[in-house]
Amino acid sequence: MNFKIEVIQLPLPEGVNIIIGQSHFIKSTEDIYEAIVNSCPSIKFGLGFCEASGDRLVRCEGNDEELKKLAAETCLKIGAGHIFVIYLKGGWPINVLNALKNVPEVTRVFAATANPIQAIVIETEQGRGLLGVVDGYKPVGIESEEKVRERREFLRKIGYKLK
């Protein structure tokens, strides 16, 4: 069996986060939409979902037309069955991830990030699949006590930990 592996740099505009996952049913687009707006009503987002059978279209939802278009184009670029891409602004993945993971059709989340991101895609005679992602850059060392202190201060500064 022949296959090809491709690394695809995904677009990520300044101030935008991306979530990449896999689901398994056409109703995923509406259920993911509802999960996002129910957990963070003010967040702006666009969602694309690659069908793996039937019409094999990229299905789209969202409340921001630019992000919706970007999600659809990114899904088409990845081209792997049952993959979804969500672009978010005005909030963070942490605001919606638990709700997203509780959507019955969602089988996995590959990444949720604001870092530069690459998709690793395999192509066979049957189709394409997402093997994983490269999220950001490789580490350059182990944090020092000073960096531990900075990390803890930062989390309190942005309100995610008690002061």
- Please give the Cα distance from 20 to 71 (Å, whole number): 10
Output the pLDDT for position 160: 85
Output the pLDDT for position 163: 81
- DSSP-H helix ranges across 57-96: 65-78
Tell me if 154 is assigned to some domain. Answer: no
Output the pLDDT for position 128: 97
Tell me if 24 is assigned to some domain. Answer: yes
Output the pLDDT for position 159: 87
Tell me if 122 is assigned to some domain. Answer: yes
Rg (CA), the chain: 17
The number of distinct structural domains making up the chain is 1
Q: Show pLDDT as tens, one digit a residue, over the chain (163 residues).
A: 899 999 999 999 999 999 999 999 889 999 999 999 999 999 999 999 999 999 999 999 999 999 999 999 999 999 999 999 999 999 999 999 999 999 999 999 999 999 999 999 999 999 999 999 999 999 999 999 999 999 999 999 988 888 8
Output the pLDDT for position 162: 84
Output the pLDDT for position 158: 87
What is 110-149 written as a DSSP string? EEEESS-EEEEEEE-SS-EEEEEEEES----S---HHHHH
Q: What is the CA angle 72-108-8, rounded to 5?
A: 45
CB 73 within 8 A of CB 9: no
Task: Identify the helix (H) or strand (E) that includes residue 33.
Answer: helix 28-39
Q: What is the CA angle 114-117-122, rounded to 5?
A: 145
- The domain of 70 spans 4-138
Residue 32 belongs to a domain with what CATH number?
3.40.1520.10
